[in-house]
Amino acid sequence: MVCDARFMITKVVAKWPGSVHDSRIFRESGLCRRFEEGQFDGHLLGDSGYACRQFLLTPYLRPNTPAQERYNEALTKTRVTIEQTFGVLKRRFPCLKYGLRVSPARACGTIVACVILHNFGMVRGDTIQREIVDDEDPPGNDIQVAAGQTGLRYRDTIVDRYFS
């Protein structure tokens, strides 16, 4: 799942068995392809289980500088939103917390239905809303990407520019 800062789930893929790693699901998703093709302007935040890419920022496993530590702290504080979204979703639909006792195909449909209803509830304001401050010029929009620049180097550029 992918969510925004308002707990709205913007992407859900519910067709893989639970044993498949999230990074594989993302790597093979249409969303990943669209980011790779440059169809989106922005960044996704992931945990250390994902490969760092120019559009998917991940934490440093062993930060070596105070700037890298500040970056990791900011990433962690921002990434908590997806965990909070999962919590809201599970409180809203306890069947997701306690487990679905249906066929895998039916479970996929149930999960997607819960996400749709969750988003509908969020639009209607029936759960806690957070104050959102939109940044007109989010970090990274002005960083020039060299051809072949790796996600790790791109992350270093962001850290040097915004966390040093």
Number of domains making up the chain:
1
On the question of pLDDT at 129 being above 50, the answer is: no
In a domain, 34, yes or no: yes
* pLDDT tens by residue, 21-43: 999 999 999 999 999 999 998 89
- The pLDDT confidence band at residue 16, using thresholds 50, 70 and 90, is confident
In a domain, 137, yes or no: no
What is the C-alpha to C-alpha distance for residues 161 and 152, in angstroms, rounded to an integer? 14
In 47-104, beta strands by DSSP E: 56-57
- What domain range is 123 assigned to? 2-128+150-162
Residue 55 to residues 18, 20, 58, 78, 99: CA-CA distances in angstroms?
A: 25, 22, 10, 15, 33
Do residues 58 and 73 touch, judged by C-beta distance below 8 A?
Answer: no
- The pLDDT confidence band at residue 133, using thresholds 50, 70 and 90, is very low
For residue 81, give every residue at least 6 positions away whose Cβ sits within 8 Å of its Cβ, in sequence order, or none.
3, 4, 5, 7
In a domain, 145, yes or no: no
In a domain, 134, yes or no: no
On the question of pLDDT at 116 being above 80, the answer is: yes
In a domain, 7, yes or no: yes
Instruction: Considering only residues 27 and 134, tell me which one the structure prediction assigns the higher pLDDT.
Output: 27
- Tell how many helices (H) and how many strands (E) occur in the chain: 6, 4
Average pLDDT taken over every residue of the chain: 87
